Amino acid sequence: MVEMLKETLLKQIDSIKKLLQLLEEQHEYIIANDVFQLEGIIPKLKEANRNIAVIESERRQLIGSKSMNVIINESRDGELEKYYDNCIMTLESARTQKESNEMLIKQCLSFTNSMLSMIKPRDNSNVYNSYGKIRK
Protein backbone atom coordinates (compact mmCIF):
# COMPACT_ATOMS: atom_id res chain seq x y z
CA MET A 1 0.00 0.00 0.00
CA VAL A 2 2.85 2.39 0.81
CA GLU A 3 4.37 1.95 -2.65
CA MET A 4 1.02 2.65 -4.33
CA LEU A 5 0.62 5.70 -2.12
CA LYS A 6 4.06 6.93 -3.18
CA GLU A 7 3.13 6.54 -6.84
CA THR A 8 -0.13 8.39 -6.27
CA LEU A 9 1.66 11.21 -4.46
CA LEU A 10 4.18 11.51 -7.30
CA LYS A 11 1.33 11.74 -9.83
CA GLN A 12 -0.36 14.33 -7.63
CA ILE A 13 2.83 16.40 -7.37
CA ASP A 14 3.23 16.34 -11.16
CA SER A 15 -0.39 17.42 -11.66
CA ILE A 16 -0.08 20.25 -9.16
CA LYS A 17 3.15 21.41 -10.83
CA LYS A 18 1.33 21.51 -14.18
CA LEU A 19 -1.42 23.56 -12.56
CA LEU A 20 1.17 25.90 -11.04
CA GLN A 21 2.78 26.33 -14.45
CA LEU A 22 -0.61 27.20 -15.96
CA LEU A 23 -1.28 29.69 -13.15
CA GLU A 24 2.08 31.35 -13.78
CA GLU A 25 1.22 31.53 -17.47
CA GLN A 26 -2.12 33.10 -16.53
CA HIS A 27 -0.23 35.63 -14.39
CA GLU A 28 1.87 36.64 -17.39
CA TYR A 29 -1.26 37.12 -19.49
CA ILE A 30 -2.85 39.25 -16.76
CA ILE A 31 0.23 41.47 -16.56
CA ALA A 32 0.31 41.79 -20.37
CA ASN A 33 -3.46 42.52 -20.50
CA ASP A 34 -3.87 39.74 -23.07
CA VAL A 35 -7.58 38.99 -22.74
CA PHE A 36 -7.77 36.44 -25.54
CA GLN A 37 -4.95 34.33 -24.09
CA LEU A 38 -6.61 34.56 -20.66
CA GLU A 39 -9.81 33.23 -22.17
CA GLY A 40 -7.93 30.40 -23.86
CA ILE A 41 -6.19 29.20 -20.70
CA ILE A 42 -9.45 28.59 -18.79
CA PRO A 43 -10.14 25.13 -20.31
CA LYS A 44 -6.55 24.10 -19.55
CA LEU A 45 -6.97 25.17 -15.92
CA LYS A 46 -10.25 23.23 -15.65
CA GLU A 47 -8.60 20.11 -17.07
CA ALA A 48 -5.67 20.41 -14.66
CA ASN A 49 -8.07 20.79 -11.73
CA ARG A 50 -10.03 17.75 -12.91
CA ASN A 51 -6.83 15.67 -13.07
CA ILE A 52 -5.88 16.70 -9.55
CA ALA A 53 -9.35 15.77 -8.29
CA VAL A 54 -9.14 12.31 -9.89
CA ILE A 55 -5.72 11.62 -8.37
CA GLU A 56 -6.89 12.93 -4.98
CA SER A 57 -9.85 10.56 -5.05
CA GLU A 58 -7.47 7.67 -5.84
CA ARG A 59 -5.33 8.66 -2.86
CA ARG A 60 -8.35 8.84 -0.58
CA GLN A 61 -9.49 5.40 -1.72
CA LEU A 62 -6.07 4.02 -0.83
CA ILE A 63 -5.91 5.48 2.66
CA GLY A 64 -9.59 5.21 3.57
CA SER A 65 -10.65 7.27 6.56
CA LYS A 66 -7.15 7.66 8.02
CA SER A 67 -5.24 10.90 7.70
CA MET A 68 -1.96 11.06 5.82
CA ASN A 69 -0.06 12.01 8.97
CA VAL A 70 -1.22 8.83 10.72
CA ILE A 71 -0.21 6.68 7.75
CA ILE A 72 3.19 8.38 7.51
CA ASN A 73 3.80 7.85 11.23
CA GLU A 74 2.70 4.22 11.07
CA SER A 75 4.82 3.39 8.03
CA ARG A 76 7.91 5.30 9.23
CA ASP A 77 8.87 5.75 5.59
CA GLY A 78 11.04 8.82 5.06
CA GLU A 79 10.50 8.83 1.32
CA LEU A 80 6.71 8.87 1.74
CA GLU A 81 7.00 11.76 4.18
CA LYS A 82 9.26 13.64 1.74
CA TYR A 83 6.75 13.15 -1.09
CA TYR A 84 3.87 14.30 1.09
CA ASP A 85 5.74 17.42 2.25
CA ASN A 86 6.68 18.19 -1.35
CA CYS A 87 3.04 17.80 -2.36
CA ILE A 88 1.90 20.19 0.38
CA MET A 89 4.56 22.78 -0.52
CA THR A 90 3.67 22.64 -4.22
CA LEU A 91 -0.02 22.93 -3.40
CA GLU A 92 0.66 25.98 -1.21
CA SER A 93 2.63 27.61 -4.04
CA ALA A 94 -0.27 27.00 -6.42
CA ARG A 95 -2.74 28.45 -3.91
CA THR A 96 -0.60 31.57 -3.46
CA GLN A 97 -0.30 32.04 -7.24
CA LYS A 98 -4.06 31.60 -7.66
CA GLU A 99 -4.80 34.21 -4.99
CA SER A 100 -2.31 36.60 -6.59
CA ASN A 101 -3.96 36.15 -9.99
CA GLU A 102 -7.43 36.72 -8.53
CA MET A 103 -6.27 39.88 -6.79
CA LEU A 104 -4.73 41.24 -10.01
CA ILE A 105 -7.90 40.47 -11.97
CA LYS A 106 -10.04 42.27 -9.38
CA GLN A 107 -7.68 45.23 -9.44
CA CYS A 108 -7.83 45.42 -13.25
CA LEU A 109 -11.62 45.21 -13.23
CA SER A 110 -11.89 47.88 -10.55
CA PHE A 111 -9.62 50.20 -12.53
CA THR A 112 -11.59 49.58 -15.73
CA ASN A 113 -14.91 50.24 -14.00
CA SER A 114 -13.65 53.46 -12.43
CA MET A 115 -12.32 54.66 -15.79
CA LEU A 116 -15.64 53.86 -17.46
CA SER A 117 -17.59 55.70 -14.77
CA MET A 118 -15.37 58.77 -15.25
CA ILE A 119 -15.76 58.72 -19.02
CA LYS A 120 -19.48 57.92 -19.19
CA PRO A 121 -21.73 60.84 -18.24
CA ARG A 122 -24.52 60.15 -15.81
CA ASP A 123 -28.06 60.07 -17.09
CA ASN A 124 -29.46 62.08 -14.22
CA SER A 125 -27.90 65.04 -12.50
CA ASN A 126 -27.16 65.03 -8.80
CA VAL A 127 -29.88 66.95 -6.97
CA TYR A 128 -30.30 67.60 -3.27
CA ASN A 129 -33.48 66.24 -1.77
CA SER A 130 -35.47 67.77 1.08
CA TYR A 131 -33.16 66.21 3.70
CA GLY A 132 -30.02 67.73 2.18
CA LYS A 133 -28.78 64.43 0.77
CA ILE A 134 -27.64 63.97 -2.79
CA ARG A 135 -30.12 61.96 -4.82
CA LYS A 136 -28.52 59.74 -7.42
What percent of the chain has a predicted confidence (pLDDT) above 70?
92
Distance CA 57, CA 22 (A): 22
Q: By C-alpha distance, which of 101, 91, 86, 92 is closest to 24? A: 101
Residue 127 is inside which H or E element, if any? Answer: strand 127-128
CATH, residue 111: 1.20.58.300
Q: pLDDT tens for residues 67-98? A: 888 888 888 888 888 998 999 999 999 999 99
> If you ran DSSP here, which 8-state letter would residue 123 be given?
S
Domain around 103: 2-135
Distance CA 105, CA 33 (A): 10
Give the pLDDT confidence score for residue 50 in this predicted structure.
95
* Number of domains the chain is built from: 1
Model confidence band, residue 122 (pLDDT cutoffs 50, 70, 90): low
